[in-house]
Amino acid sequence: MQASARLERDPAGAARIALEILAGEPGNVAAALLLGTAQRRCGDPAAASEAIAALAAAQPQSAVIQLELGRALRTQGHAAQARAAFERAVQLEPDLAQAWRALSDLYGAAGDEARCDAAFARFEKLVSPDAQLLQAGAALANGRLDGAESLLRRRLVHAADDIDALRLIAQIAATREEYAQAERLLEQCLRLAPGCARARLDLARLYLSQQKVAPMLPLLERVLRHDAANVPARALQASALTLLGDNERALSILAELIDESPHDERAWLQRGDALRALGRTAEAIGAYRRSIDLRAGCAEAWFSLANLKTFRFTPAELETMRVQLARADLSDTERLQLEFALGKALEDAGDFAAAFTHYASGNALRRAQLPYDPAKVTTLVRRSKALYTREFFAQRAGWGCQARDPIFIVGLPRSGSTLVEQILASHSQVEGTRELPDVPAFAIELGSRSEGGAEPRYPDSVAQLTRAQLGSLGERYLEQTRPHRRLGRARFIDKMPYNFAHLGLIHLMLPNARIIDARRAPLACCFANFRQHFQQGSWFTYSLADLGHYYRDYVELLAHFDAVLPGRIHRVHYEALVADLEGEVRSLLDYCGLPFEAQCLRFYETQRVVQTVSSEQVRRPLYSEGVDQWRHFEPWLGELKRSLGDLAR
């Protein structure tokens, strides 16, 4: 017992005690096993293997001895012999969890994915949940991120390779939208345990949060090869297909899931999202309402109905939302979703004061969750202006990939960018895709995140790129975005609004791409963002002061590019588009080098997948009501006006 107690912290001491026992009782099996284990932990696997092999010969029916023999052989690098010992261990004792875990790792190292995943699944079924991990998981579920992280960090001090602790910390990082850290942690999990399906699914969810579809699909395919009925993997696969625009296949998967579990409100909710993207609005509403019928507290379903923009709640639905919001057991995320949904319902009912109160409450909840620093955006603008001068671009004239395929639409969300996209996607030569994450991902590669408190290297790192590297980046962008070009048209649209912060990089790597700045009047645009809850990203939208600050930075940076690259960016003002649709469309098409097509004026007839919150609005003829909608809330916009300064006028 003394030797066993010392084994973890003092293996040399455990070995001395085991030797003392064996001196008095040479045949003591437990002492001999302890000695071999201690020798392995002291860094002498050869001696351990010799001792335990002799013990295994004498005790051929002991699964525990086979387990320890396998560990010693593996430490020596004898993978095949170690695998044989572990396989013998599970034959003798099928419920020996650690032997299955070791086998999973060895199968993974040998490239045997099927047996790797099956062995790890067997291991997970056999191990009991740890009390400390359960406590951390409960804290995470209740939004106590700091408390959960503290528990998990303390655990990792003593068990650095604890997969479940690493997974939970990755979930915390993902909740904070610290995606790079979450990716590193989950990749570490899969290096430590290549058969861990839960880590693989967590990584797929993380990619979904960032709309990175390409790396999602192989992860899900591997999970489904081992477990074809895996519900989370199938649901994620449907989400990935939706992002790729393959909504019919996504709906087919969701139909199967609903057939299997008709009372799963999450499946109905996801079905509603896929139908909305396809423009099948009535069916989407039915799916969202079915989700609510199954659980009246399904806050995301209420929020999804509000997010249709053209939907109007009944008085009974409004009252149900109020009852749900009064519950004390709501998470912050559920509460803010209901706040935004109620704000929209009350705005439609003409109760603007009450609507603003709910919008403000929802925004305050979300802002409290975010470590957003508006000064970082200002710093990026300042450094971009210093780097991207006329001379800088002149020295690199003709660099980059010369393809003309992409049309970038940049600006702020809720600025009319989806309308501009729909107009262009109505042209026979142009394909609409969605908000593609590729350019921001390039910026991250080039060092847009700070490391260890140091200032980010991007955008200054762009100056170090050679002609060949910039050309390669452009080619890589075209290759990565190709899966989204399902119609095979000559031109395609990337509608990621935040690409305005990367216009210098875009111009250098794709000098012939078209760039359109979709702009809306400051107060109208900022308030439209304030009344919209974005599921991730857009951290600046949850405070009127942050919104004004961000809008000013955006205008300042675009003015700089107008000065150093005159004529390079075409600006479409939402208000001008509403006032003179044909004139603005002709100017837009001329800038893009496209012949005029009348269908672009009937953009609302174009059938295509639209995945932004404006999906229903762009399926209607142009209307002017939205231009001055913000004026209903003007009495409460003083903070926004102060933040915008001169732009507010």
* Residues 424-449 pLDDT 10s: 999 999 999 888 999 999 998 898 76
Q: CB burial class (10 A; 0-12, 13-18, 19+) of residue 64?
A: middle
> Which residues touch 458 (CB under 8 Å, ≥6 apart)?
443, 446, 447, 448
Query: In the predicted model, what is the mean pLDDT of residues 151-177?
Result: 87
CA dihedral 387, 391, 396, 397 (to 10 degrees): 130
- Name the pLDDT band for 320 (thresholds 50, 70, 90): very high
Residue for token digits 């109505």?
Answer: 426
- Name the pLDDT band for 334 (thresholds 50, 70, 90): very high
Closest by Cα among 226, 255, 225 to 238? 255
CA dihedral 465, 469, 474, 478 (to 10 degrees): -140
CB 580 within 8 A of CB 597: no
- Name the pLDDT band for 230 (thresholds 50, 70, 90): very high
Q: Tell whether the model's pLDDT for residue 620 goes beyond 90.
A: no
Q: Tell whether the model's pLDDT for residue 609 goes beyond 90.
A: no
Which residues, in sequence order, are bridge partners of residue 432?
493
- Name the pLDDT band for 157 (thresholds 50, 70, 90): confident
Query: In the predicted model, what is the mean pLDDT of residues 337-353?
Result: 95
CA dihedral 577, 580, 585, 588 (to 10 degrees): -70
* Whole-angstrom distance, CA of residue 30 vs CA of residue 11: 15
pLDDT in tens, 566-575: 999 999 999 9
Closest by Cα among 143, 92, 101 to 120? 101
Highest mean pLDDT range out of 279-283, 423-427, 601-605, 624-628? 423-427
Q: Tell whether the model's pLDDT for residue 611 goes beyond 60.
A: no
* Whole-angstrom distance, CA of residue 233 vs CA of residue 221: 8
pLDDT in tens, 42-55: 777 787 777 777 77
- Name the pLDDT band for 559 (thresholds 50, 70, 90): very high
Q: Tell whether the model's pLDDT for residue 14 goes beyond 80.
A: no
> Which residues touch 376 (CB under 8 Å, ≥6 apart)?
none
* Whole-angstrom distance, CA of residue 193 vs CA of residue 196: 6
Q: What's the one-letter identity of residue 373? A: D
Of 155-159, 273-277, 499-503, the range with the lowest mean pLDDT is: 155-159
Query: In the predicted model, what is the mean pLDDT of residues 446-468?
Result: 83
- Name the pLDDT band for 214 (thresholds 50, 70, 90): confident
Predicted pLDDT of residue 71:
86
Determine phi and psi for 518, rounding to 5 degrees. Answer: -85, 115
Predicted pLDDT of residue 610:
59
Within 10 angstroms of residue 288's Cβ, the number of other Cβ atoms is: 29
Q: Percentage of the chain with pLDDT > 90?
A: 64
Three-state DSSP at 479 gives helix
Residue for token digits 């231009």?
Answer: 627
Predicted pLDDT of residue 624:
64
Predicted pLDDT of residue 220:
95
Residue for token digits 């001169």?
Answer: 646
pLDDT in tens, 68-115: 888 888 888 889 999 999 999 999 999 999 999 999 999 999 999 999
Q: Tell whether the model's pLDDT for residue 618 goes beyond 60.
A: no
Q: Tell whether the model's pLDDT for residue 211 goes beyond 90.
A: no
Rg (CA), the chain: 29
* Whole-angstrom distance, CA of residue 636 vs CA of residue 634: 5
Predicted pLDDT of residue 588:
97
Predicted pLDDT of residue 459:
95
CB 117 within 8 A of CB 137: no
Of 156-165, 234-243, 292-301, 600-609, the range with the lowest mean pLDDT is: 600-609
Predicted pLDDT of residue 608:
57
CATH code linked to domain 374-446+462-648: 3.40.50.300
Determine phi and psi for 573, rounding to 5 degrees. Answer: -85, 130
Query: In the predicted model, what is the mean pLDDT of residues 597-610?
Result: 82
Average pLDDT, whole number, for the chain? Answer: 89
The residue ranges of every structural domain in the chain are 296-369, 374-446+462-648
Q: What is the 8-class DSSP label of residue 456? A: P
Query: In the predicted model, what is the mean pLDDT of residues 505-517?
Result: 98
Query: In the predicted model, what is the mean pLDDT of residues 571-595?
Result: 96
Query: In the predicted model, what is the mean pLDDT of residues 147-172?
Result: 88
- Name the pLDDT band for 37 (thresholds 50, 70, 90): confident
CB 495 within 8 A of CB 608: no
Query: In the predicted model, what is the mean pLDDT of residues 129-136?
Result: 80
Q: Tell whether the model's pLDDT for residue 4 goes beyond 90.
A: no
* Whole-angstrom distance, CA of residue 470 vs CA of residue 396: 10
* Cα of 560 vs its chain's centroid, Å: 32
